[in-house]
């Protein structure tokens, strides 16, 4: 199925011919059979929104700017961290601490000075999604969490804007195009997974080159859609296994019984994230065995000598991770480090005693939740509380 965007549906721009500089810059495009000046002009007239300037966003933004997409909106509220650099190649060491949108914009303008970059240094929310999506011809979803993926998909379904979608985890990646007239995201993935059911890249890791592979495929799909050249992945899902470098294609179908998305109320009503909940000293701050503790609540416990004396911290990350960073605890706190696999092998050995609180933590919360559940399950009547640090060290103040 060939799907292209209708040039007449776009807001017109004053581009009727390529300049000499553009003829020189895009000469290799113009030499392609079936491409030509009109396809390049279509790219230059186009407006796209890239959600996320991280692993997938980096190659997407780089190649769209270089290819001649005229206006690129990028939305991301994060800053560049050193752990980003092994895969987010649009950023550099000199950009550490800089907003990702600013770093990405600088790289894009360095590749193509004529590109118009619109920075949105914010998180995509139910309050701004329809406005952001409605301002462009095409959206590329480079996010790494399900809440935002479903928000992007629902906003685009309401607005009738196509989405180029990509996902990566460990050594595997997937790409598809969800466009009006074909299967949409909720036809394929009707319900959002429960929190912690599927790990994020921060939790499970990702091969550094994989975002480049998948992001480049996403950029190629965008160029086909915007230029009208080729056959986009509408109704198809392409998966890649980087360990074997095998590609596989699945056919997608529309669910005729699915109720179309008509508003974003489900997103607006979502409960706050665990790391936003629970005030210091409140009942929610400690909870019952098997629950989470908010970073602010743990900080309050550590700062209270009387309460800290009954606290044990258990870091279930690997040795190399602990060398980089850990929760700094006062001397009164029992500070232990046991990698997850060792905890799972003997969970009862880590059960807290009567009236003690065990707080388990890891990088982002997935491993600590597994360890917490194992300890609680091994000795549910220990008399103490077992809590997982919500969001892990990723949510802990630097």
Interatomic CA distance for residues 392 and 19, integer angstroms: 52
Paired strand residues for 91: none
Which pLDDT value is given to residue 4? 46
Residue 130: name the closest of 166, 154, 146, 165 by CA: 154
| 156 included as an active-site residue | no
Instruction: Find, among 179, 73, 184, 180, the residue nearest to 132 by Cα.
Output: 73
- CATH top class, domain 274-395: alpha beta
Q: Which of 290, 279, 305, 280 is nearest to 387 (CA)?
A: 290
What's residue 196's pLDDT? 57
Q: Are the C-beta atoms of 70 and 47 separated by less than 8 Å?
A: yes
Residues of the chain under the 50 pLDDT cut: 1-4, 6-12, 271-290
pLDDT recorded at residue 5: 52
Please spell the DSSP secondary structure of 171-213, one letter per residue. TEEEEEEE-TTS--HHHHS-SPPPTTSS--HHHH-B-TTHHHH
The rounded radius of gyration (Å) of the Cα atoms in the chain is: 24
User: What is the structure's pLDDT at 282?
Assistant: 28
Q: Hey, is 309 helix, strand or coil? A: coil
Report d(CA 381, CA 397) in Å as an integer: 33
Dihedral sign from CA coordinates of 253, 256, 258, 264: positive
CB 167 within 8 A of CB 174: yes
Are 144 and 81 in contact by the 8 Å Cβ rule? The answer is no
Domain boundaries, the chain: 7-268, 274-395
Single out the catalytic residue among 64, 362, 364, 386: 362
Is 316 in a helix, a strand, or coil?
Answer: coil
Q: What is the pLDDT of residue 155?
A: 98
Domain 7-268 CATH class label: alpha beta
Residue tagged active-site, from 105, 153, 201, 213: 201
Token pair for residue 355? 């009236």
Reading the block at residue 171, the tokens are 């050594």
For residue 201, indicate whether it is catalytic: yes
Q: What is the DSSP letter of 210?
A: H
CA distance 196 to 389: 13
Report the C-alpha gap between 220 and 216 in whole angstroms. Answer: 6
Q: For position 319, what pLDDT does the model report?
A: 92
């Amino acid at each position: 199925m060939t799907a292209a965007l209708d040039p007449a549906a776009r807001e017109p721009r004053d581009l009727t011919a390529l300049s000499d500089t553009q003829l020189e810059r895009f000469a290799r495009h113009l030499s392609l059979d079936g491409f030509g000046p009109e396809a390049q002009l279509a790219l230059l007239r186009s407006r796209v929104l890239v959600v996320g300037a991280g692993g997938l966003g980096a190659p997407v933004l780089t190649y769209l700017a270089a290819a001649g997409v005229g206006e690129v909106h990028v939305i991301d509220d994060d800053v560049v961290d050193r752990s980003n650099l092994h895969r987010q190649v649009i950023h550099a060491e000199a950009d550490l601490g800089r907003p990702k949108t600013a770093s990405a914009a600088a790289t894009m303008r360095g590749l193509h000075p004529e590109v118009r970059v619109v920075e949105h240094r914010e998180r995509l929310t139910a309050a701004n999604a329809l406005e952001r999506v409605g301002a462009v011809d095409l959206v590329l979803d480079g996010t790494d969490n399900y809440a935002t993926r479903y928000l992007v998909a629902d906003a685009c379904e309401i607005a009738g804007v196509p989405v180029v979608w990509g996902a990566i985890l460990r050594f595997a990646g997937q790409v598809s195009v969800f466009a009006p007239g074909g299967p949409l995201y909720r036809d394929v993935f009707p319900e959002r997974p429960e929190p912690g059911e599927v790990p994020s890249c921060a939790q499970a890791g990702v091969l550094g080159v994989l975002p480049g592979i998948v992001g480049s495929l996403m950029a190629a799909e965008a160029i086909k859609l915007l230029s009208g050249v080729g056959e986009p992945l509408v109704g198809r899902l392409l998966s890649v296994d980087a360990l074997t470098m095998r590609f596989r294609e699945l056919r997608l179908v529309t669910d005729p019984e699915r109720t179309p998305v008509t508003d974003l109320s489900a997103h607006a009503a979502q409960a706050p994230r665990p790391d936003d909940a629970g005030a210091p000293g409140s009942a929610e701050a400690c909870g019952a065995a098997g629950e989470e503790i908010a970073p602010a609540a743990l900080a309050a416990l550590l700062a209270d000598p009387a309460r800290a004396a009954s606290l044990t911290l258990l870091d279930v990350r690997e040795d190399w991770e602990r060398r980089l960073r850990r929760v700094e605890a006062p001397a009164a706190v029992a500070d232990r480090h046991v990698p997850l696999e060792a905890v799972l092998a003997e969970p009862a050995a880590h059960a807290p005693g009567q009236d003690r609180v065990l707080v388990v933590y890891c990088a982002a919360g997935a491993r600590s939740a597994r360890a917490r559940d194992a300890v609680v399950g091994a000795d549910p009547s220990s008399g103490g509380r077992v809590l997982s640090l919500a969001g892990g060290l990723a949510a802990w103040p630097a």
